Structure 1
Amino acid sequence: MSKLEKKLFRKVKRANLKYQLITDHDRIAVGLSGGKDSLVLLHALQLLKEYTPLQFEFIAITIDLGMGIDYSSMAEYCSRQNIPLVIEPTNIGRVVFQERQEKNPCSLCANLRHGALHRVAQKNNCNKVALAHHLDDAVTTMLMSMAFEGQLRAFLPSAYLDRSNLTAIRPLIYVSEKTIYSLSCRLALPVTANPCPAAGQTKRAVVQSWLETLEDAYPGVKRRFLTSLEKIYWNQ
């Protein structure tokens, strides 16, 4: 393993030991968008399989939003890595941006994508879905809930979804976006461009930008935010 891979492995292993995200005999559906985060998540699970005694298997599931995205490079990568890939065609893009024309489309789009992911995971006999949310995502979500909803709310490292009888896990929860970006470049992962019309124009993008400014001024502030989130919210 390279130095960056060791860093990724160490943080994913730590999250797994603390929150029991992956256990023996799990069959995991990895939500693969084609972005850097989900591709690094695939690589992290490969490292866990190779360098720990855990006995589990995983497949990649891509929810095609029907927006003309070319997934051929990603499919070739999965084939080379012997990772089963299921690409599920949907009309989510048309529903969100043409039929509904939501002013704030992210929530609806996420709900529809997750619903489709859960259905395909069930169809493929998976008991868990792995999502590529990382440290920066967790902190950003917490800050958004405080700023725009007046409450402390954030996603959990592991959460049972009773409607679908699946458990959602977030193995990258201790991994920074900076590390993920560096790894995606070092490994030359086939990152697919994000075609979302709302990209960079959302409240989340504003909060992310502010968080980066704060991190530049006070290095380590993101990690301290995450530590606070763990103590106050995750460990209740």
Structure 2
Amino acid sequence: MQKILSYLRRAVQEYDLIENGDRIAVGVSGGKDSLVLLAALRAFQRFGLYDYQLEAITLDPQFGGVPTDYAPAAAFCQELGIPYHVIPTEIGKIVFDVRKEAHPCSLCAKMRRGALHDQAKELGCNKLALGHHNDDAIETFMMNLFIEGRIGCYAPKSYLSRKDLTLIRPLSFVPEREIIRYAKKQIPEIVKSKCPVDGHTSRETMKQFIYAQERENPGFKKRIFGAMRRANVDGWGGKTFIRNLADDDLSTNGKPERFHLLEAEIARRLKEGQYADLGN
């Protein structure tokens, strides 16, 4: 948990995810990501850096018209001392039986988000925490690029003005491998997804593509995420890569000092003819 908490604290500070007095609803599917998020937020709460409350919410899609057994998630929440709420829905029926969607993920996600937002507000929460980790962000960015032909991703923090609700993703810096490692050791049982298309989606295809690229080109994921941050794609730059243009030093042409010094050094070497062998 120490590594996960280090990543979580960094995200909280970088994006101002948590403040004193927050009442945070945590979306819990029963899978590894959401349960690790719940455990991490509870552990972070005990540090006393921020005064906030937690509520755990599960939306049961009831795939095939059958309620899901969330007893393992309920037991885990009880162990952590976090109130747990299971909300039955007809999302599974609408998506697969009524609409019969050929590509159901988009509609399912949209309906789940809406229901989660409403339930969070009913519980008096001002924030909703979701369990997306670092690999999720990279996959989403790559899917948007390859499939939709655009540069974009979900944001680590976003405010929904219509709901007066802030979405936060505290695991944004946590690699999936760390979540898997912790879940295997510390979470007694996860709730397996009963979604009919689980494991057969565009996201799973992209996950495998990225995995192959990482094996062939170590550091591939780190470079992709670094590019997202430096370009401040959908707010991923955070405090590190956002600057106030009014504070720029005109003598450095608005560039960070390290780049200005590098340019000066290159100019000096060019003047001395050190790069003459490179030609024009």
Does TM, scored on the shorter chain, surpass 0.5? yes
User: Does 1:6 find its partner at 2:2?
Assistant: yes
Give the conservation status (yes or no) of the 8 Å contact 2:73–2:190.
Answer: yes
In 2, Cα distance between equivalents of 1:40 and 1:55: 20
CA deviations over 1:52-100 (Å, ceiling 9, x no partner): 4210011100001113321012111211211100111100000001111
Instruction: For CA contacts below 8 A with separation 6 or more, give which structure has more relative contact order.
Output: 1
2:75 counterpart residue number? 76
In 1, Cα distance between equivalents of 2:207 and 2:219: 15
Letter in 2 for 1:129: L
1:49-68 alignment runs, 5 A limit: 49-67=45-63, 68=67
1:209 counterpart residue number? 208
2:219 counterpart residue number? 220
CA deviations over 1:134-156 (Å, ceiling 9, x no partner): 10110000001111111101011
2:262 counterpart residue number? none
1:74-223 alignment runs, 5 A limit: 74-223=73-222
2:33 counterpart residue number? 37
Name the TM-score, length of structure 1 as normaliser.
0.95
In 2, Cα distance between equivalents of 1:150 and 1:131: 26
CA RMSD of aligned residues (A): 1.1
The alpha-carbon deviation at position 190 of structure 1 amounts to 2.3
SS class of match (1:129) = strand
Gaps spanning 5+ residues in structure 1: where? none
CA deviations over 1:162-200 (Å, ceiling 9, x no partner): 121100000000001111111100103421111111112
Instruction: Give aligned-pair identity as a percent.
Output: 39
Which consecutive aligned stretches of 4+ in structure 1 deviate over 4 angstroms post-superposition? Answer: none
Distance 1:14 1:118, change over 3 A: same
Tell me the number of residue pairs that the alignment of Structure 1 and Structure 2 aligns.
232
Letter in 1 for 2:129: A
Letter in 1 for 2:121: Q
Letter in 1 for 2:166: T
Give the conservation status (yes or no) of the 8 Å contact 1:36–1:189.
Answer: no
Name the TM-score, length of structure 2 as normaliser.
0.81
In 1, Cα distance between equivalents of 2:7 and 2:48: 14
The alpha-carbon deviation at position 223 of structure 1 amounts to 2.1
Range moving further from structure 2, 67-76 or 28-37? 67-76
Range moving further from structure 2, 113-122 or 60-69? 60-69
In 2, Cα distance between equivalents of 1:218 and 1:57: 42
Give the conservation status (yes or no) of the 8 Å contact 2:42–2:80.
Answer: no
Letter in 2 for 1:86: H
Give 1 or 2 for the bigger CA radius of gyration.
2
